[in-house]
Amino acid sequence: MSEMEPEVKRFLQKVVWTLSGALVWLVINMYLGIYKELGFPEKEITLWNILFYCFAVLSLVLLILYFLRLWKNEDL
């Protein structure tokens, strides 16, 4: 089996980690927002709706910061 060049291997690992991280974030927020019905207030906004949206925004910011650090780092 042939070996990949180290630069290509690091690049593909970054791509896989970025896609899988975004997919995990999306699945968690989709589960909480749609299946647990926290994303759609019924009659009024509850504390759980506010906590869900705070969690979604905060986790997105942290995910973006992680991606920026991941892609800035040359060593992976």
- In order along its 76 residues, the chain shows pLDDT tens digits of 568 898 999 999 999 999 999 999 999 999 999 999 999 999 999 999 999 999 999 999 999 999 999 999 877 6
pLDDT of the residue at 75: 75
At residue 45, the 3 state secondary structure works out as coil
Domain boundaries, the chain: 17-72
Whether 21 and 66 have beta carbons less than 8 Å apart is answered as yes
Closest CA to 34 of 16, 17, 56, 63: 56
